Each structure stands twice: as structure tokens, then as C-alpha cells.
A and B are shown apart, each in its own frame.
Chain A
Amino acid sequence: MKKFWALFFFFWPTVAIYACLIAPSRGWWFPGPPMSRTGVQIDGLFYLILIIVTITFVGTQYALGYVLWKGATKEPGSKAVFSHGSHKLEIMWTIVPSFVLVFISLSQLDVLAEIRVISSFPKDAGKPATKVAEVMARQFEWRIRYPKPGTELTTEPSPEDLYYVNELHVPTGKPVVINLRTQDVQHAFFAPQLRVKQDAVPGLVIPVWFDIKEVGEYDLVCAELCGWGHFKMKARIVAQSQGSVDKYLKQLEAEQNEDGTKAESAEE
């Protein structure tokens, strides 16, 4: 009976490690390779921590199983060992983990700064990255506001801004910034394939940057429970060349100024 429990506690961690090993080939892993510059760094950090934690996990589970097995196969009637603890062991297993944790926290500082600290945002050819749009999260959609082509995005709406919903067009190949806001409750701007995640907090305007490597369509989902529609609060990020983005914005401008007559609508 005791041997059964020892084996039981040996078995499940082995299953867990096996599952992690076969996970990538079965698609139980990341949603695709990281498609942005930060994404690559974040995945690197993830693997670093995964390796450290796996080693720790294997070590501790083996120790647990070993102790259980030893106890299970003891001679019945043998005397117990009176141990007053081991001071050396206790020091070791306090100091080593604290070093490991400090190492982890220091090694991620630069990535964190790049993502969160505005002064550390990457520059785009020496100048600050362009603010391409304001993304206003709302129950249960994403409202996008672009500045008029050729002008800068203002924090509050300007008369000639262009509006759309649930589809964000950004240029590839350079870092771009969006202003993240919310109209009602907390939401979170989460682009899994880009490894970008930022909570949207009522009352705050939060700049979020990303640098998408390849042209394509990426998911944008809400990652902060915001109500009954949270599960379907999805949008599309369409990453195109700068020329295509410009063309799209021109078309959006034309549509937004439609006056219903067949002739070319009079521009302002």
C-alpha cells in the first residue's frame, strides 16, 4: 500500500513532464511563433524561466518520491532516525532559490522597461515611434480612431479623425504606438501572436507599442473580464506595408465623408 502511494507520487509528475515535452508538436503550445520584436524577447524569457523551473520541479519531485519509497520499503520494526534538522541544508535551500529569483527579476528588467517605460520605447529612425491610432475599448468591441492622414494623433478627438470598429490597420517593419483607452470598464489589449498585453484602465490613456515583422492578420482579444460579452470581444489587427495602410486610410476618409450623391463627394 505504501509502495503504491510512492509510485503514485512519482507517476503524475512524470506524466506532466511528458505532456510538456509533446505539447509543441500537438499544438498545445504558443499560438504560433512570436510575430513582433518584443514577442521574441518575451518568448526568450519564458523559456529561461521554464528551464529553471523544470530543473527545480524534477529535483523536488524526485526527492519526494525517493523519500516516500525509502519510507515504504523500510524494515517493519526498525527504529526511526532522530534528526534535529540540518542547518547547512536549510541555509542552502534558502540562499540558492533567492539567488535564482533575483537572477530572474534582473534578467527581465530591460524587456519590462522597453515595454512599459515611455522613455525606453524604441525609436523609429531616430524619432519617436508614430502614434497610429487610438484604440478605445468598449463593451464589447474595439473602437478605433485614426488621425487624418498627414496629421498627428491628438489625445482628444479632432474634427477630421477617421473612425472604425474592430479592425486596426498598422504598418509593418517599424515600431508603432497606439493610445489605449476604455469607455466603460477595464479591458485588456491582448494580441497573442504579437505577445502584447496591456490592461485598459478607465480614465487613463496608455501608450502601447509594437513592431510587427510580417504582413498578415492577427487576433486582438480582450484579456480582462469585462462582462457577459468578454469571451467574444475580438478584433483584427491587419498589418500591411505603409503604402497599403495609407491607401486604406484614404479610402476610409472618402467613406467617412460620403454625402450620398453619386458625384465625387466634396472634400472639406
Chain B
Amino acid sequence: MSRTPSLNLLVLAFLLSVAAVSGCSDSAFNTSFVYSAGTLDLMPEAQNGTKDIDGVKALLDKRFGDPQHLEAWLKMPVDFGGTMTTVGEMTTAENGIPVVKLDVEEGKSLPEKAGSIQFVSGACAGETVEISGWNAETGEATLAVVPSQSVASGDICFVDGGTVIQSGRVLYMRHCSHCHGTSGDGNGPTARYLTPKPRDYRNGVFKFTSTNDMSKAAREDVLRVVKYGIPGTYMPSFLLMTDEEHHAIVEYVRFLTLRGEFERKLVAELSSDYSKAALDSRLKDEKKADILKELNEFLADDLKESANSLGDELAEIWATSDSEGALVVPSITRIPDSSESRRRGRELYLSKALNCADCHGIDGAGNGPQTIAFEKNPTTSELYNEPGLHDVWDNLNQPRNLQLGMYRGGRRPIDLFRRIHAGIKGSRMPSFKNTPHEDIWNIVNYILSVPFETEPGGTGIAPSAAAAATVTAPPAN
């Protein structure tokens, strides 16, 4: 029995396993953000620009980066993490080790521990340098390496900049991306098996908010969903994470939302003249070279400038949505639950003015006439293929079955009040902000009693003539 064949086999097995494992390099785990359908519908030159002129993709990437290297656009109302400081003075000790003294704004304090400095302005802008020694009282940081360029007094830098958003990215990729996608487009690998579909953040629309109908979602709303989940959907609760982890995830979700919204705004500037469809129709009368020249001028002069003001618009609406002024606060405390209040609520529910039964059904089972009517897509003005109500992501939505007692946006009376007052953004549930708050409370009391009615419509009100099936115009959002 010769030993060589079995030795060869062993060596072969070893080499094969080495080869199999060697594919697992760091870059094997890189991910990238996707571009929206709107961007990909533009003519290629608008998407990519030229060597010297930024197209849509470059304008977006420069401000938001890619998952491996996120960019912090400080204008955005996102807590990127870290403390902003200015360089007071940079000295070099005898052994060549550089020491930077940092000044911080009035009223702010330096963190107790620090790991790195990110230079934002000056010759070293964009560089991250590790800190080997840190004195929080004096603000002196001993750097681990010498910066590649000279650091001048007055340069702006961040201490531990980006820590929140980076930790948010790691947590998001681990816990959220398989449904919500790397870019927050609601199209992760799991999404194809889910109904309802995971939220696509890129419209900037969140359904279950505490803000009025004209505002975006507040931080608190996203936080509530992350902490308590959405019953009746596949969104689970992440209650067991720490507060820091919750905060990091919420900030990263806001980051992805703002990226998506900024992309939409850029595309909106270009799509009417430079989309692929527009190009095709323009080519009938114009020459390609002329169109290209026009595009490049627009990109180089107009879009570059307006990108910043688009950012300002976004920053403002999202910051105001987070303020107290945007909250929906009832002007009266809740009317105590009583059979009288429920009867009044039922009356309002069936009334022609509010027309709740049109979608939610006479008995609240979510089977009103609107669920079998064909409605028009407000953006394309064409009828949807299937009957029923759709949301802004073109998914089919069932009006809530009130008999189940499962309320996705929260079951507190204030939650139901807000659903009625501000509507559910992105869906066909309209805002009833002009309805007196007294009436809304009566409806809330009625709704909370529906799951416990002994018979459907058991409040004893005879239904008035049912609303005729109409194709309703979607609410102005």
C-alpha cells in the first residue's frame, strides 16, 4: 500500500479549502446604494455628467457617499455624531509627536474620551487622524500620526465625528437592510415575500406620524416604530436595544430618507427636459449635440447652485417637522367613553360629510365600496390594474378592518386622533383637520368600541343611505 496517493489527496483537500476561504476578502462584503428609478430614467449624460461636470449621480454621491464611506452633509438635520471644534493651536513636541489644542463653542463641552479627529476645513480637510492621548479639560489631543498637511489655527474639525452615523449604518445593515434594502428602498432580499411591503424611505413619507398633514415625520415617530414595531405587519419591535442604538438607527434612517428625497429633487429638476422619454421626443426636432450642450450648461451652472438651495429646503422642512409646532395636539381632552359618545361617533362615521363607510365599510370591516372601485393613479392619470385603494408607493392597501382591534399606528386615543386629524400620509386615508376636535374624539370612542360590539353596527344607529361608489380624488398631500 503506497502512501503517496493518500498524501496527495490530503494536500489537495487542504488546498481546496484554502482556495474556498480565500474568496472571503473584506471587499466581498462591500455594498452600494442604488439609484432611484427616476434617476435611471434620465438620459445617461444627465446621470453621469462629464469628466468636469457633475451629473445627478455625482451630485448625490458627493453629499451622501456610499455605505463604506458615508459623507456627512452637515446642513442636513441628522445627528452624525461627534463634537465640532476649532483648532486653537498645533504644536510639535521634541520627539516629533504633534499635539493639537482644540477650542469648543461657548456652552458646549468636550467629550471625556476621544478616539479620532476628523478635519473638515483647511489643508487637511477630509482626513481622519487617530488620537493617542486626550485631555478633556484642556482639550489637548496627542495625535498618533503626523497629519499629511499642516494644520492651521482656526481649522474646523470634529472629535469622534461620524460615530453615531457609522454605528447606525452597522446596526441598520445587520437588522434592517434585509427588508428595507441597503438604500432604504424597501426592496431588500426579504421584501419580495412580505405584504405589506417594507417602507421605501426615499419619498420622505412615513405613514404613522404625530405631526400635522403638511409636515414630515418627527424623530419620535420613527423611534416609536423602531421600539414597538407595527402590529399586523412584519415590522418587529427592537425594544431590547439600548437607547444609543435606537438613536443611531433613527439617525441613519433619516440619513437614507434625506438622500432619497435629495435625489428626487435633483431628478425633478431634470426629468421634464432630459429624461429618456423626453430625449426621444426632442430628437425629432433637435440635434443630439445641441441637447447635450444645453444639458451640460444646465448641470454646470444651474443645477450645481440649486443643489444647495434644494438641500436648504429639505433641511428646513425636516427640522420644522421635528419641532413642537408640527405636533397634532387636540384642543380638548378626550371626551369620556360612553354609549352616547359612541352613538355620536357612529353617526359621524356614517355621515355623508366624513364618509368613513365609503372605505372602511358600514360595519367597519374595511370592505367599503372603494375597495372594489378602480381608482386613478394620480401621477400617471391612468387607472390601476386592480380595484381598490393604493398608496403613494403604488401598493394595494386595504382600509383598516376596525373589527380586529389592531391599530398599526398605535392604540392610544391620541394615536387614533392623529390618524383621523392628519390622515395617514402616503395612503388614501385623508386628513380631517377641519373636523371639530369634539367630533374626532367621538369617532375615536366609537372606533375603540367596534371590536367589542356584540353585533356589527351594534350601537343601534340605522345606517343612512350608503355613499354611492365613487372614484375619489386622492387627498392633496
Q: Is B115 an interface residue (CB 8 A)?
A: no
Nearest CB on A from B452, distance (A): 5
Instruction: Closest B residue to A260 by CB, please name it.
Output: B414
Q: Tell me the minimal C-beta distance from B6 to chain A in angstroms.
A: 15
A-B contact count (CB 8 A): 76
Known interface pairs A259-B333, A266-B334; A141-B328 also in contact (CB < 8 Å): no
| A19-27, A60-68, A227-235: which lies at the interface | A227-235
B196 contacts the other chain (Cβ, under 8 Å)? Answer: no
- The distance from the CB of B177 to the nearest CB of chain A, in whole angstroms, is 13
Given contacts A159-B452, A228-B190, contact A261 B236 (CB under 8 A): no
Asked whether any CB of chain B lies closer than 8 Å to the CB of A236, the reply is yes
Report whether B239 and A260 are in contact in the complex, using a CB–CB cutoff of 8 Å: no
**B56-77 interface (Cβ within 8 A of A):** none
Among A232, A260, A264, A266, residue most surrounded by chain B Cβ atoms (within 10 Å): A260
The SS class assigned to the A binding surface is: loop
Question: Chain B nearest CB: distance from A182 CB in Å?
Answer: 14
Residues from chain A with a CB closer than 8 A to the CB of B234 are 139
Q: In whole angstroms, how far apart are the Cα atoms of A259 and B157 in the complex?
A: 45
Closest to B445 in A: A268
Does B451 reach chain A (CB closer than 8 Å)? yes
Q: Which residue of B lies closest to A262 (CB)?
A: B329
Whether A256 sits at the interface, judged by CB under 8 Å, is yes
Q: Which of A33-53 contact B (CB under 8 A)?
A: none
Complex: how many Å from CA A21 to CA B337? 64
Contact size range, B: 20 to 34
Contact of A167 among B239, B330, B451 (CB under 8 A): B239
| Pairwise interchain contact B240-A235, C-beta atoms closer than 8 A | yes
Q: Indicate whether A166 reaches chain B with its CB closer than 8 angstroms.
A: yes
Question: In the complex, which residues of chain B have a beta carbon less than 8 angstroms from the beta carbon of A265?
Answer: 333-334, 413
- Which chain B residues in 224-250 approach chain A with CB under 8 Å? 228-229, 231, 234, 236-237, 239-240
When the two chains form their complex, are residues B236 and A229 in contact, meaning their CB atoms are under 8 A apart?
A: yes
Across the interface, which residues of A come within 8 angstroms of B178, CB to CB? 228
CB atoms of A165 and B414 under 8 A apart: no
Judged by a CB distance under 8 angstroms, whether B449 is at the interface is: yes
Do the beta carbons of A157 and B237 come within 8 Å of each other? no
* Inter-chain contacts of A268 with B (CB < 8 A): 336-337
Q: Is A263 an interface residue (CB 8 A)?
A: yes
Task: Report the minimal beta-carbon distance from B230 to chain A, rounded to whole angstroms.
Answer: 10
Cβ of A163 under 8 Å from chain B = yes
Q: Which of B380-408 contact A (CB under 8 A)?
A: 405
Chain A residue with the shortest CB-CB distance to B449: A159
Residue numbers in A under 8 Å from B441 (CB-CB): 259
Decide if the interface of chain B is mainly helix, strand, loop or mixed.
loop
Q: Are B448 and A159 in contact (CB under 8 A)?
A: yes
Is the CB–CB distance between B411 and A236 below 8 Å?
no
With the chains together, A159 CA to B329 CA distance in Å?
A: 24
Residues in A neighbouring B239, C-beta threshold 8 A: 165-167, 235-236
Residues of B within 8 A of A266 (CB): 333-336
CA distance A233 to B414 in the complex (A): 29
Report B325-369 CB contacts with A as 1/0, cut-off 8 Å. 000111011111100000000000000000000000000000000
Chain B residues with CB under 8 A of A56: none
A163 adjacent to B411 (CB under 8 Å): yes
Given A139-B234, A167-B239: A256 and B329 interface contact (C-beta under 8 Å): no
Contact (Cβ within 8 A) A263 B229:
no
Also in contact, A258 and B413, with CB within 8 A (given A159-B449, A228-B178, A266-B336): yes
Please give the distance in Å from A89's CB to the nearest CB on chain B: 37
Picked from A140, A158, A236, A259, the residue with its CB within 8 Å of the CB of B413 is A259
**A140 close to B332 (CB less than 8 A):** no
Is the pair B330, A261 in contact by a Cβ cutoff of 8 Å?
yes
In A243-268, the 8 Å CB interface with B consists of: 255-261, 263-268
Are the CB atoms of A157 and B333 closer together than 8 Å?
Answer: no
B158: Cβ under 8 A from any A Cβ: no
- In the assembly, what is the distance between CA of A157 and CA of B234, in Å? 22
Is B334 a contact of A143 with CB atoms below 8 Å? Answer: no
Cα distance A263–B452 when bound, in Å?
29
Please tell me if the beta carbons of A166 and B330 are within 8 angstroms of each other in the complex. no
Picked from B237, B405, B417, the residue with its CB within 8 Å of the CB of A166 is: B237
Q: Across the interface, which residues of A come within 8 angstroms of B417, CB to CB? A: 259-260
Mark each residue of chain B from 435 to 460: 1 if its CB lies under 8 Å from any CB of chain A, else 0: 00000010000001101100000000
How far, in angstroms, from A167 to B228 measured CA to CA in the complex? 10
Q: Note all chain B residues with C-beta closer than 8 A to A157.
A: 405, 451
CB A242 to nearest CB in B, in angstroms, measures 23
Chain A 121-150, CB within 8 Å of chain B: the 1/0 string? Answer: 000000000000000001111010000000
- Given contact pairs A143-B231, A157-B451, A268-B337, A166 touches B240 in the complex (Cβ within 8 A): yes
**In the complex, what's the smallest C-beta–C-beta distance from A46 to chain B, in angstroms?**
28
Q: Which residue on chain A has the smallest CB distance to residue B329? A: A260
Given that A139-B234, A159-B449, A228-B178 are contacting pairs, would A260 and B330 also be in contact in the complex, using a CB cutoff of 8 Å?
yes
User: Can you name the residue of chain A whose Cβ is closest to the Cβ of B444?
Assistant: A259
Looking across the interface, which residue of chain A has its beta carbon closest to that of B328?
A: A260
Q: Which residues in A have their C-beta under 8 angstroms from that of B335? A: 266
Query: Could you say which residues of chain B place their CB within 8 Å of the CB of A140?
Result: 236
- Contact assessment for A165 and B237 in the assembled complex, using a CB-CB cutoff below 8 Å: yes
- Least CB distance from A238 to B in Å reads 12
Q: How far, in Å, is B438 (CB) from chain A's closest CB?
A: 13
Residues of A within 8 A of B108 (CB): none
Q: How far is the CB of B446 from chain A (nearest CB, A)?
A: 13
Verify A258–B333 contact, CB threshold 8 A: no
Question: How many Å lie between the Cα of A159 and that of B337 in the bound state?
Answer: 11
- C-alpha gap A264/B336 in the complex (Å): 12
- Taken together as a complex, chains A and B put the C-alpha atoms of A157 and B231 apart, in Å, by 15
List of B residues within 8 angstroms of A256 by Cβ:
411-412
Check if A258 sits within 8 Å of B414, measured CB to CB: yes
Smallest Cβ distance from B407 to chain A, in angstroms? 10
- In Å, the complex CA distance between A268 and B334 comes to 9
Which residues of B lie under 8 Å from residue A264 when comparing CB positions? 333
| B 211-268 contacts with A by CB, 8 A | 228-229, 231, 234, 236-237, 239-240
Partner of B236 from the list A139, A163, A260 (CB cut-off 8 Å) is A139
Most buried by B among A228, A264, A266, A267: A266
Chosen A-B contacts, 10 in total, with CB atoms closer than 8 Å, are A141-B236, A163-B411, A228-B190, A255-B412, A257-B413, A259-B441, A260-B329, A260-B417, A261-B332, A263-B333
Closest 8 CB pairs of A and B: A260-B414, A259-B334, A166-B239, A165-B237, A141-B236, A141-B237, A268-B337, A140-B236
Contacts A258-B413, A259-B334, A268-B336 known; 13 new A-B pairs at CB < 8 A: A141-B229, A141-B236, A159-B448, A165-B239, A166-B239, A229-B236, A235-B239, A236-B239, A257-B412, A259-B412, A261-B329, A266-B336, A268-B337
Binding site for B on A (CB under 8 A): 138-141, 143, 157-159, 163, 165-167, 228-229, 232-236, 255-261, 263-268
